[in-house]
Each structure stands twice: as C-alpha cells, then as structure tokens.
Amino acid sequence: MTVTPTTMTATPTIDVETRGLTKIFAARHGTARITALENVSLAIRRGEFVSIVGASGCGKTTFLRILAGLETEYEGSITLDGLRIDGPGPDKGVVFQDHRLLPWLTVGENIGFGLLDLPKTEQRERIRKYLRLVGLQGFERAWPAQLSGGMAQRAAIARALVSKPRILLLDEPLGALDALTRVYMQRELEKIWTREKITMVMVTHDVEEALYLSDTVVLMSARPGRIKKITPVHLARPRDRENPVFQNLKKELLVEFGLRAKSLFSYEI
C-alpha cells in the first residue's frame, strides 16, 4: 500500500489536495537551507488538467515529486482521493523531461515493465492498447534508440499510463523537443487526456503550452516557492492560440513573470 487514510470527508470531485505544503531542504556542505515550497495549498479536481509554471528554481519539480510520492519529508498535508500520499505507486504515473526508457529493452518491454505480475496475454493487450493510444502501434519491438524525441516521449507517456494510474504527473515532458514537434505533441497530449479522462498535472516553462492545455494554470514565484496566481482557462478545445482571449491571458501571465508584452512572440523563460 502506498496510501493511508487520513480523512473520510474529502469532497468527491477533488482528486488532489495540498494544504500548507512546505518543503525545506536542509543546509548541507556549507550551502544554506532552501525553502523550496512555502505554504502551497491547491485543490485539483478529478479529470482536471493543471499546469504549474514559474521561473527556474521556484519548486515545480519538488512539488511534482511530492505528488508522485518520491519526496516524503515535508510539512503540511497532501492527499490523493482523500488518502495521504506517502510513497510512489501505480496510482501515480510520472513522465520526466528525458524519456528514461531503458535502452536494453524494446519499446514494448519498457512499457510493460511495471506489468510483470499480470498474465502474459493481459500484459500484451495492455502494451498494445497504450501503444495505440500514443500513436506508436507497430513499434513494440523497436529499440528506444530507433525512436525520434517525440516518439520516445510518447513511449514514456504510454509507460506511465499502462498501470492505469489515477493521476499523471508530467515534468516538462515536451521540453526537449523542437518547436514544431512540441506543438504537435501538445495536441497529442490533449487527445490522450481527453480519451483517458485522467487528472494531469504538468510542469512547463512555456506559458502558451500551459494555456493551450490546461483547465487551470498555477503560476509560482521563487524563493520561497509560493503560488502567485491561479488562472482558470475557460476556452473551448482545441484552443485557438490566435484567439484574443487566449492572447490576453498569455500577456497577463507573462507580465506576472516580469516580462514585457513586446517579448510575447519570442519567449521562453
């Protein structure tokens, strides 16, 4: 078991709830202690797509690692479906910026790595289902080195989804891709989210990507990492990046970052 009950009164539509989440990294080898997160309180609805944006070092990865159960020392509380998160597990899928596929296993074996307890036929069915979902049908026997960057990230998403997690956590999943592939993959990610109806929390540096994909954009400020602004995005999907409302939201968020509007079209923090 990776979770233990703390409350029976959680609102059913809330999937993840953090209250007063504070993470302090202790001083070590002469470095000062760092308050990576301070008093972060956030409620994420079931099936919601939430993006976390903010400058480098503001605690985005730390927040995701706590959600993933990879970081278990913190103050405050964090629950998934009303149960305290206290370790990693199949209920939480994680995708990192680099795909982290094992090079000595085929794409299919990489995706099926967490399914070894299941009967062989079920393993195969699930692997095929998720390869199809991410558009990689036919690549089961390929090696990771034979995939492009975008394909490798799709395989990583399939691997994270194959254990049918309740929540998918993505840390800059498209950060290493070229601009065109990135835009294409944003659309693919949206399709996967729509089909799987899963709660997704994605860290990104890219405000436009966050606005394109998210129901809610959470902007964080650095040192200490705090929530600075929560922006609900009520635009129909798939979103039109040229829509004036979209453009205005983008401008507002960039201004919060301290960027000037004239840098709108060539921006990456």
Nearer to Mg ion, 98 or 252 (CB): 98
Q: Is 238 in the site for ligand ATP (CB under 6 A)?
A: no
8: helix, strand or coil: coil
Distance (Å, whole) CA 266 – CA 269 = 10
Q: Which 54-73 positions form the footprint of Mg ion (CB under 5 A)? A: 61
Residue 150 interaction partner, one of Mg ion, ligand ATP, none, beta carbon < 5-8 Å per kind:
none
**Cβ 132 to ligand ATP shortest distance, Å:** 32
Distance (Å, whole) CA 129 – CA 94 = 19
Binding mask 17-46 for ligand ATP (x = CB under 6 A): --------x--------x-x----------
**Cβ 61 to Mg ion shortest distance, Å:** 3
Residue 56 interaction partner, one of ligand ATP, Mg ion, none, beta carbon < 5-8 Å per kind:
ligand ATP
Nearer to ligand ATP, 59 or 108 (CB): 59
Give the residue among 39, 18, 26 at the shortest CA–CA distance from 85.
18
Distance (Å, whole) CA 169 – CA 44 = 12
Q: Which of 56, 116, 121, 236 binds ligand ATP (CB under 6 A)?
A: 56
Binding mask 102-141 for ligand ATP (x = CB under 6 A): ----------------------------------------
DSSP structure class, residue 189: H
Give the residue among 269, 180, 156 at the shortest CA–CA distance from 220.
269
Q: Which of 60, 92, 99, 250 binds ligand ATP (CB under 6 A)?
A: 60
257: helix, strand or coil: coil
**Cβ 77 to ligand ATP shortest distance, Å:** 19
Q: Which of 4, 5, 11, 57 binds ligand ATP (CB under 6 A)?
A: 57
| Gap between the terminal Cα atoms of the chain | 39
Residue count (the chain): 269
Sheet with 49-54, side-by-side order of all strands: 92-95, 167-171, 199-203, 49-54, 216-221, 226-232
Q: Is 62 in the site for ligand ATP (CB under 6 A)?
A: yes
Give the residue among 64, 50, 53, 54 at the shortest CA–CA distance from 233.
50
| Furthest-apart CA atoms within the chain: distance in Å | 57
Residues that bind ligand ATP (CB under 6 A): 25, 34, 36, 54, 56-62
Residues that bind Mg ion (CB under 5 A): 61
